[in-house]
Amino acid sequence: MKGKKDDDENAVRLDKWLWAARFYKTRALAREMIDGGKVHYNGQRGKPSKLMELNAEITLRQGNDTKTITVLGLTTQRRSAEEAQKLYQETDASIASREKISEARKMNAMPHPDRRPDKKERRTLIKFKYGDSE
């Protein structure tokens, strides 16, 4: 009969692994992202209690970036960033896609004005943005 310690070594929850691999700062945040549909496990929407497998494919969104990673290792302990990066590998297609989107964002970046708009300019911007409701 297996003991609890043997089960823990082989069974790692998705939310705990994402926290241990340093994708999210807390397990609660990892759970919130999974429940919010930001994390997909092998092409399907994940659940926090999903047991992880080696070579599984995880797609997750962090801010404006979407990453697709392959699981290389399992752990329940949060360690250094160097060790955490050994637990997964980002796919080449994911890296290329993120770089392409990042470059497009840089090209469309709006220049920052030299000063803040005054009251009249602010009202004009609000009318332009939300339409003239009056």
Q: Give the residue among 47, 97, 46 at the shortest CA–CA distance from 68.
A: 97
Distance CA 49, CA 65 (A): 24
Distance CA 53, CA 51 (A): 7
In this prediction, residue 109 has a pLDDT band, given cuts at 50, 70 and 90, of low
Q: Is 125 left (phi over 0), alpha (psi -120 to 50) or beta?
A: alpha
List pLDDT tens digits, range 42-92: 999 999 999 999 999 999 998 888 999 999 999 999 999 999 999 999 999
Task: Indicate the pTM of the whole model.
Answer: 0.72
Backbone angles phi, psi at 68, to 5 degrees: -115, 120
Amino acid (one-letter) located at 48: P
